[in-house]
Amino acid sequence: MAAEQIPVLLVADDDSLVPLCRAELGSGFFVHRVAASEYMLALKAQRGCHTVLLDCSCMDEIDIMTACMVISKEFGLSLVLLMSKEMRLSDHLARALGTVHTVDVFSPAGTLRGFVCGSDDVAYSVRHTESAPLTFLSPQDEVAKEAVQPPPAEDNIVASSFIMNHFYERIKKASQTDENILLLGESGSGKSWTARKIHELSPRSTKKFFKVNVAEFNASLIESNLFGTTSGAFTDAGDHKGVFSAADGGTLFLDEIGELPVLLQSKLLGVLETHSYRRLGSTKEYTFDEKIIFATNRDLEECIQKGTFRKDLYYRISSIVLEVPPLRDHPEDIPELARRIAGKRNKQLSQSAVEKLMEYTWPGNIRELESIVKRACIFSPAECISADDIRFS
């Protein structure tokens, strides 16, 4: 740790929040992570700690309340609670904590830094200047330093927004398991890109990535396309392996899974439970070994209530659920995304064009952004796209 860095203690049970907090706070801070079971030892051993960040997902409410009292009362340290979008503090806990800051991990970029540094960089400069050379001492010593090192360059996906940096960290973690993954999100938000990135970061990256859009199949042909056929199974049927066989060893991405007919949902459930299937017209059992990613823009819980999607299948495909954020929730990333799209066509974007893109609400998400920037690149004779070249349909 550089002598001029200000130590911040992160209490969390895994490393996924470390690079996120480091990116949000900047190089002036040294983020030191300890497990929830070890934070007392770390507090007693630390010297000059500026702030404690507490991941609420690693404690129950009683432990959160205890930790807050210990950190703020006994040690006199400022505290920020990190919460996920779906987490809510009970009214009792909220009243007990009083003025303790809580930050949604999906908050816009700068929110966490604002709580830690103050409302502006002047507060940061004062604290930075007054801090003497500081170090953390803990039972783990140098091991703790390794936890905050950035990931390898090839895995280091960087975004401007807090929300997407956190989302990318979840992608990296999800890529290392063979559990079924369900991607939720609005149309055009980037579910296909996410599925491919999970494959590229996974141990199966050297194998095939096979995408199937369930909605594109004729309902009567979905089963044969998924599981294959044998000659004579029906008129004009030939030997066909199906996508479960084609993707074996790699990753199978089943997009628009919410469109799968109910009658086929029970068969897919059995296939996922046994990791085996039969081709149409055959009694032979085929096994498969592949990572399966599902995606939909439908509300599957609502579909379950309407009887159009099986609850047991939902539980089977949703071991890991990743919700792809809509573009309007991370507008900080629009400039870089737009410049990359234009750059592929040897074009540049003027500042006025970027500002115009930032003002739009993007109901069609990244797909709409790509379409609009592409259109501007095609019809503008200039190398630099102006605001007048940006047309919203």
Residue 40's CATH number: 3.40.50.2300
Q: In the prediction, which pLDDT does 143 show?
A: 31
Q: Identify the band that residue 175 occupies on the pLDDT scale cut at 50, 70 and 90.
A: very high
Q: How many structural domains does the chain have?
A: 3
Q: Identify the band that residue 231 occupies on the pLDDT scale cut at 50, 70 and 90.
A: low
Q: In the prediction, which pLDDT does 107 show?
A: 61
Rg (CA), the chain: 25
143 or 318: whose pLDDT is higher?
318
Q: Is the pLDDT of residue 122 over 50?
A: no
Query: What gap in Å lies between CA 198 and CA 372, rounded to an integer?
Result: 27
Q: Which of 98-107, 318-327, 359-368, 369-378 has the lowest mean pLDDT?
A: 98-107
Q: Among 116, 150, 184, which residue terminates a domain?
A: 150
Cα-Cα-Cα-Cα dihedral sign, residues 160, 163, 165, 168: negative
Q: In the prediction, which pLDDT does 160 show?
A: 74
Regarding whether 343 and 316 lie in a shared domain, the answer is no
- Cα–Cα distances in angstroms (integers) from residue 368 to residues 74, 80, 335, 336, in the given order: 52, 37, 14, 15
DSSP bridge pairs for 53: 10, 80
Query: What gap in Å lies between CA 29 and CA 45, rounded to an integer?
Result: 18
Regarding whether 254 and 241 lie in a shared domain, the answer is yes
Q: Identify the band that residue 296 occupies on the pLDDT scale cut at 50, 70 and 90.
A: very high
Q: Among 289, 323, 357, which residue terminates a domain?
A: 323
Regarding whether 115 and 78 lie in a shared domain, the answer is yes
Query: What gap in Å lies between CA 392 and CA 378, rounded to an integer?
Result: 15
> Is 59 contained in some domain?
yes
Q: In the prediction, which pLDDT does 85 show?
A: 57
Its pTM stands at: 0.61
Q: Among 323, 347, 373, which residue terminates a domain?
A: 323
Name the DSSP class of 152: P
The residue segments making up the domain with residue 77 are 6-150
Place of tokens 């995304």: 337
Query: What gap in Å lies between CA 168 and CA 208, rounded to an integer?
Result: 22
pLDDT single digits (tens) 81-117: 887 655 666 665 666 565 567 777 556 666 777 777 7
Are 314 and 263 contacting, i.e. CB atoms less than 8 angstroms apart?
no
Q: In the prediction, which pLDDT does 269 show?
A: 94
Q: Which of 69-83, 101-115, 189-203, 366-380 has the lowest mean pLDDT?
A: 101-115
- For 256, the token pair is 């628009």
Query: Would you give the end-to-end CA distance of the chain in angstroms?
Result: 51
Place of tokens 């630390």: 46
- pLDDT exceeding 70 applies to what percent of the chain? 78
> Is 157 contained in some domain?
no
> Is 155 contained in some domain?
no
